[in-house]
Structure 1
Amino acid sequence: MNTVTTDDKTRLYVKDWGEGPPVILIHGWPLSADSWDDQAMALASTGHRVIAYDRRGFGRSSQPWNGYGYDALADDLAAVIQQTDAQDATLVGFSMGGGEVARYMARHGGQSVARCVLISSILPFRLKTADNPAGTEQAAFDKTALALHTDRAQFFTGFFKTFFGDASAERPVSAELLEWARGIALQASLKATIECMRSFSSTDFRDDLAAFTVPTLLIHGTEDQTVPIAASSRVAAQGISQSTVIEYGGAPHGLFATDKNRLTGDLLAFLARAA
């Protein structure tokens, strides 16, 4: 099994496919690197080296007690970049993974990064506060934590219907895909699942946006009910100097499945344009 070992001896499972300019894929909550397989295959088949890893506590990576804040998670990304010798890499962060990209750019000075992509990203700040009135109430995140403690299998059944859009949505996915996503989510430790939810819901990335000094593409669905676009990517783009925004009209959160062909095409076009 291919792994990277972090400074605190956590083992991160890594897929390393293809050859060419490196693209590092960072998955969302509560999934694993497997959620990227469609895009990873397409990128690797068209001349890119694709590196996708399971966040600590998720998938096939170790499940430590600590290390679920974004400073530690960004350091994990740094370990992946260093130990795979990924130079001039493109970082692609989906949902929660956008936070790792932002904190890596700020904390590690964007070392070895040539461009960034943020998909359905949680940036810049999810929590509703006095100076962030468009955010989500703390009570909503507390309710999620309680549901995870009570019966996370049941919680994820409903969660993924919103994540991908249910059968009545413009881009429905199969019942089998919903069950597959739930199965991946249940591979994670309960500790990691709850702590990462707390991290992405409370971490303020507004000061990190200035650290994006490379071409950056933001992609987001206009009907995303999981991370609404009006309080996320539209706001984040204003703070990223070299940003381009693509909005998917009517699309929900899980674009890697609901709009996978369009997403792959937009990734390839951005990589070709920014090369």
Structure 2
Amino acid sequence: MFLLSITGALPGMAIASAGIEFSQLVPNYFGLAGGVTPEWAGAKDNMAGVVPGARIKLENNRYAEWYGPYAGIKVNQDLNFEWGPAMVIRLGRQDVTNDAVDALPDIGYGLDLGGFVGYAVTRTDTMIPFYSRVGLQLTTAVAGDTKGTNASVYANTWVPLSRQVFVGLGLGATWADDNYMQHHFGVDAVAAAQSGIAEFEARAGIRQFYAWPAVMFQVNPQWYVAAGAYYQRLTNDAANSTIVVEQGDKHQLTYGLGLGYAW
């Protein structure tokens, strides 16, 4: 579910960093990314999948974007400052490969709603042109099998190596409250008896740090191909959970390839 964070947004970011004025940027695009990602948060076992992503320009410097389980809309008109509503589909944990984890109560799909605020800048008047974006996202559970609240900070930068080759780097961290942490990483007495995994009470805290590098090649004015990796380091009670310690891994890696079309 993290692949579009790396590959879905590439066409617009890369065009901006190539030295084209913001007013000339063609921000509309659609992409597909395929790759390998952990089955559940903290898993050793991986699964393969394909996820879509898109970004559509609206009037007055506004836009709508969709990357896999995430969607957001910039509603203000400022060129650099941005804010708006956001939603995240929580994919849960069910029918997994690991027998002990599969014996835990299933976590189904859920919906989180909230918003984001940030700042994005495109500079073409510097020795090395770049596109950079920083921000904060806050969402909370509203429907389905999801609980709690998450807050994430993020930053990323794209620079061109040539007119056709672009590289990017992103960093971030996510905090989660007691309800989210216990729902995803806690093990109560009943679940421990069913699975053989020791009981664990997960409390609020920073649950992960993450980083991603990516590279993209512009095939022609409309088509782009990209490759990227997304590394997560679970921390605090996410890493200390008996689910992760006994059956999983606090180091999580997603990697894949993407194809995007811009117009």
TM-score by length of 1: 0.28
TM-score by length of 2: 0.28
Structure (1 or 2) with the greater helix fraction: 1
Structure (1 or 2) with the greater strand fraction: 2
